[in-house]
Amino acid sequence: MEEISGRACCIAGLGNPGERYTGTPHNVGFLVVDELAKRHSIAVTRREFSALTGSGRIGSRPVVLAKPQTFMNLSGNAIGPLLAYRNLTNRDLIVVYDELDLPLSAVRIKKNGSAAGHNGVKSIMGALKTDVFTRVRVGIHPNREIDAAEYVLAPWAREWRDEVEELVSYTADAVESILAEGAEKAMAKFNRRARGLQNEDE
């Protein structure tokens, strides 16, 4: 059954708090939440259960935008209590996060599955005791040889600024599509940008 309804939805962008991590690939989830907040005049300034949150509407859907402040690997410590307090379930959750296995500019929507090594997603799965929640994976790999640990926590190179801005906007469009039409239709529209994918399980 598709998840289009009048229920509220929590959109959580993953990242690390603090100026040190601003503008890094690992914080692309924060950037997408910021873009949605800007588009829909939602102030993400309230502190709730180790997250910065803001409430508003995107189209006809009431939404809670959230940016966990627990650091990436403990994202579930913020998301689990927030959903419970807001009377929301895993089916009302959209998580937006960076994916080093996808090329920069790719977006991949999934409704369940493994964490694929992403510690933030693994933490959320542990807190919710399920792998069933919508994920929007944002490709950040620059298609050249990199030191992964160093790359994800260093600021984006100036040469990628325009591409990153376009990627954040495109991902925000994908989230809006999920809210308006459901994940299945959004997948058909937006997963086609995910270049290099060989099958549904990647």
Query: Which amino acid would we find at residue 4?
Result: I
Structure tokens given for 44 = 């993400």
| HSE value, Cβ hemisphere, 13 Å, CA-based, for 187 | 11
26 is catalytic: yes
Give pLDDT, residue 61: 94
81 CB burial (10 A radius; 0-12, 13-18, 19+): middle
- pLDDT per position in the chain (202 positions), as tens? 344 456 899 999 999 999 999 999 999 999 999 999 999 999 999 999 999 999 999 999 999 999 999 999 999 999 999 999 999 999 999 999 999 999 998 999 999 999 988 999 999 999 999 999 999 999 999 888 889 889 999 999 888 889 999 999 999 999 999 999 999 999 999 996 544 444 444 4
Give the helix ranges, DSSP H, for 129-182.
148-152, 161-181
Give pLDDT, residue 157: 86
C-beta of residue 189 within 8 angstroms of C-beta of residue 170: no
Among residues 163, 167, 29, the alpha carbon closest in space to that of 106 is found at: 167
Give pLDDT, residue 145: 86
Read off the DSSP letter of residue 33.
Answer: H
| Per-domain residue ranges of the chain | 9-193
Query: Which amino acid would we find at residue 66?
Result: A
Give pLDDT, residue 155: 93
Read off the DSSP letter of residue 60.
Answer: T
Give pLDDT, residue 5: 54
Give pLDDT, residue 193: 56
Of 26, 40, 118, 141, which is the active-site residue?
26
State whether CATH 3.40.50.1470 applies to domain 9-193.
Answer: yes
C-beta of residue 23 within 8 angstroms of C-beta of residue 153: no
Among residues 59, 116, 55, the alpha carbon closest in space to that of 86 is found at: 55
Give pLDDT, residue 192: 62
